[in-house]
């Protein structure tokens, strides 16, 4: 996995974990506190409505309820506003407590209805039920009027449930209704508007049986509306309420944050360990490489960028080691190639100086030939060094491959005849010029190296054939000999410097050992390649493959 992907995955994991943990904790705490707050609000609302309902049921009026509102506001911390449809606003806790009234909250009002619900007998004979209902209306109307009078007079009123669920009001501060301050609150016969209560109740007789109870309850409310306390609308809260000022618990938040931070630290340590281990190994290996230990390598397991860096380092170290080994072999090969001829030259020169040998023409020719061989080795080394460094000079022109092949054949004809080897050319499928673009001198040098090797390695009576062909926009020049051939296990080393297939072969037949590397480099610089195939006892074929130059129309001008 890519190192970038791993870092991105770690950051994403920590971010997702932190976000998820924070969201879960916030949701959990907020939900818990909302539930607790909602439960507390319901309890507060239930207490307020219960207190107001009890006041309305026991006093028969809303007079004096402001004190109850003040007490409830102080105890609960709620802003309380109460009102009725007929009277409008009755009390406001802000006003009662001496504060400026605040804008009301958005919660819907609560309804407090102190009027009783009739509990009538289940008799089948409706006129009897109607009499009970009419009596309940009369009893409640008189009782609630009496209770309201006592409340206004400052008396304490008590209630008990009477017949049909209608409360019975009494003065708790006197032995009788006509004594003390309650003397003026004697129960009086009320004026019944719109006929008697019984007449009003009997109108429900025509209503189907299932709806008669609701009809009787409606008549009860209508007949007592003028004296009973009206249903109360209770508005709780204000726009600037803070909900008690509650905040999220700190402990769980700190615990989750610490857990996420710990997980991030652990992940970072694991990642840093995975990163620093190969980096340390790479640092140690590079330090050893700089100190000359070219055999140092680093583990290359994995697929991320650091593993690829390690493999690149190993390839670099391998290349340096191979280069160092090639350089050492090159120095050894050069020393080996130059030691023997220089020793011969030294011996002959010392012998001539000491008068042991006479300087005749044959000796001088031999010494001159030895010097020319050393000069050729030096020149080949210089050409190879320049070619491998990309500094070999090329003068590219349009040329004819047919002419190049024929020139090489002519140049080596004398050498081949002296060695008893036939040399010939063969052109397959081409009748006109075969165009190439390159340096004719360098290409002739490369081809001559191949032809010279073929002539030297072919026994007398054998032959060397130069084959020219053009196909697939490539020019192929093959040098085919009938020599001894090269074993397959030695083919990969053909282009090594100073390497010879037969180590016992001398310079007279083996050359300098630099011709093939020079030829390959020249062909490579011309965007081509050299192919080789060989069979022991049959012969060897070297093929130069070069891109063909586009044919140009003849100039008729």
pLDDT value at position 336? 65
Task: State which of 228, 243, 275 marks the end of a domain.
Answer: 228
d(CA 40, CA 245): 14
Same structural domain, 421 and 540: yes
End-to-end alpha-carbon separation of the chain, Å? 67
Domain span at residue 335 reads 321-383
Q: Is the pLDDT of residue 6 over 60?
A: yes
For 194-240, how does the pLDDT look when each residue is reduced to its tens digit (9 = 90+)? 568 888 888 888 888 778 888 988 888 888 888 888 899 999 888 76
Write out the H or E segment, with its range, that includes residue 16: helix 3-59
Same structural domain, 364 and 399: no
369 touches 536 (CB < 8 A): no
**What is the number of structural domains in the chain?**
4
Give 544's strand partners.
Answer: 477, 530
Task: State which of 330, 351, 383 marks the end of a domain.
Answer: 383
Q: Which one, of 462, 471, 447, 442, lies nearest residue 537 by Cα?
A: 462
Same structural domain, 402 and 373: no
Same structural domain, 335 and 424: no
Q: Is the pLDDT of residue 192 over 90?
A: no
Confirm whether 44 is domain-assigned.
yes
> In which residue are the tokens 């050498």 written?
415
Confirm whether 517 is domain-assigned.
yes
Residue 368 belongs to domain with CATH number: 1.10.287
Confirm whether 108 is domain-assigned.
yes
Task: State which of 228, 261, 276 marks the end of a domain.
Answer: 228
For 71-98, b/e burial (b = at least 16 CB within 10 A) is ebbeebebbbbbbeeeeeebbbbeebee
Same structural domain, 167 and 100: no
Confirm whether 59 is domain-assigned.
yes
For 390-446, how does the pLDDT look when each residue is reduced to its tens digit (9 = 90+)? 777 888 999 999 999 999 999 889 889 999 999 999 887 667 888 999 999 889 989
Same structural domain, 131 and 209: yes
201 touches 216 (CB < 8 A): yes
Residue 535 belongs to domain with CATH number: 3.30.565.10
Same structural domain, 377 and 404: no
Same structural domain, 55 and 149: no
Same structural domain, 460 and 358: no
516 touches 399 (CB < 8 A): no
Confirm whether 355 is domain-assigned.
yes
Q: Computed over its alpha carbons, how large is the radius of gyration of the chain?
A: 60
Concatenated DSSP letters of 107-163: SPPEEE--SPPP-----S-HHHHHHHHHHHHHHHHHHHHHHHHHHHTT--EEEEE-G
For 312-366, how does the pLDDT look when each residue is reduced to its tens digit (9 = 90+)? 878 888 888 887 787 777 677 667 667 767 887 888 888 888 888 888 888 788 7
For 443-477, how does the pLDDT look when each residue is reduced to its tens digit (9 = 90+)? 998 999 899 889 988 999 999 999 999 888 899 99
Confirm whether 529 is domain-assigned.
yes
Confirm whether 336 is domain-assigned.
yes
Greatest alpha-carbon span in the chain = 178
Same structural domain, 368 and 401: no
Confirm whether 363 is domain-assigned.
yes
Same structural domain, 335 and 441: no
Tokens (6 digits) for 385: 């060094």
Same structural domain, 376 and 405: no
pLDDT value at position 479? 95
């Amino acid at each position: 996995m890519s190192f970038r992907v791993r870092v991105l995955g770690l950051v994403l994991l920590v971010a997702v974990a932190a976000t998820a943990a924070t969201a879960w904790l916030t949701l959990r705490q907020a939900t818990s506190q909302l539930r607790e707050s909602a439960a507390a609000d319901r309890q507060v609302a239930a207490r307020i409505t219960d207190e107001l309902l009890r006041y309305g049921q026991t006093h028969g009026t809303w007079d004096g309820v402001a004190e109850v509102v003040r007490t409830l506001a102080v105890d609960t911390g709620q802003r309380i506003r109460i009102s009725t449809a007929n009277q409008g606003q009755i009390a406001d806790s802000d006003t009662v407590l001496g504060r400026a009234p605040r804008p009301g909250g958005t919660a819907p009002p609560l309804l407090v209805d102190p009027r009783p619900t009739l509990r009538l007998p289940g008799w089948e004979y409706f006129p009897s039920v109607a009499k009970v209902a009419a009596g309940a209306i009369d009893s409640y109307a008189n009782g609630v009027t009496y209770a309201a009078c006592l409340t206004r007079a400052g008396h304490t009123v008590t209630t008990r449930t009477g017949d049909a669920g209608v409360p019975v009001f009494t003065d708790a501060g006197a032995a009788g209704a006509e004594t003390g301050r309650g003397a003026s609150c004697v129960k009086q016969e009320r004026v019944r508007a719109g006929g008697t209560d019984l007449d009003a109740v009997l109108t429900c007789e025509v209503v189907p049986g299932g709806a008669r109870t609701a009809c009787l309850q409606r008549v009860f409310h209508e007949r007592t509306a003028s004296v009973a306390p009206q249903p109360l609308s209770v508005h709780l809260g204000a726009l600037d309420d803070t909900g008690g000022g509650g905040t999220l618990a700190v402990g769980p938040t700190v615990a989750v944050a610490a857990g996420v931070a710990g997980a991030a630290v652990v992940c970072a340590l694991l990642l840093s360990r995975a990163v620093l281990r190969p980096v340390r190994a790479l640092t140690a290996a590079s330090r050893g490489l700089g100190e000359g230990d070219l055999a140092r390598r680093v583990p290359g397991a994995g697929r991320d960028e650091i593993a690829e860096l390690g493999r690149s380092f190993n390839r670099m170290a391998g290349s340096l080691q191979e280069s160092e080994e090639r350089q050492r072999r090159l120095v050894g090969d050069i020393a080996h190639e130059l030691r023997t001829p220089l020793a011969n030259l030294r011996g002959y020169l010392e012998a001539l100086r000491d008068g042991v040998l006479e300087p005749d023409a044959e000796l001088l020719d031999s010494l001159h030939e030895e010097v020319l061989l050393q000069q050729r080795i030096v020149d080949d080394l210089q050409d190879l060094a320049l070619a491998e460094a990309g500094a070999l000079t090329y003068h590219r022109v349009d040329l004819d491959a047919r002419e190049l092949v024929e020139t090489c054949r002519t140049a080596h004809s004398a050498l081949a005849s002296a060695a008893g080897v036939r040399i010939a050319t063969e052109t397959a499928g081409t009748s006109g010029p075969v165009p190439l673009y390159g340096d004719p001198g360098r290409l002739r040098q490369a081809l001559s190296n191949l032809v010279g090797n073929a002539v030297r390695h072919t026994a007398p009576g054998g032959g060397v054939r130069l084959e020219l062909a053009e196909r697939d926009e490539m020019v192929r020049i093959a040098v085919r000999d009938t020599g001894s051939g090269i074993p397959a296990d030695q083919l990969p080393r053909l282009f090594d410097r100073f390497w010879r297939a037969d180590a016992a072969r001398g310079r007279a037949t083996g050359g300098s050992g630099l011709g093939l590397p020079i030829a390959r480099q020249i062909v490579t610089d011309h965007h081509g390649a050299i192919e080789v195939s060989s069979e022991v006892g049959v012969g060897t074929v070297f093929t130069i493959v070069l891109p063909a130059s586009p044919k140009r129309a003849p100039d008729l001008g």
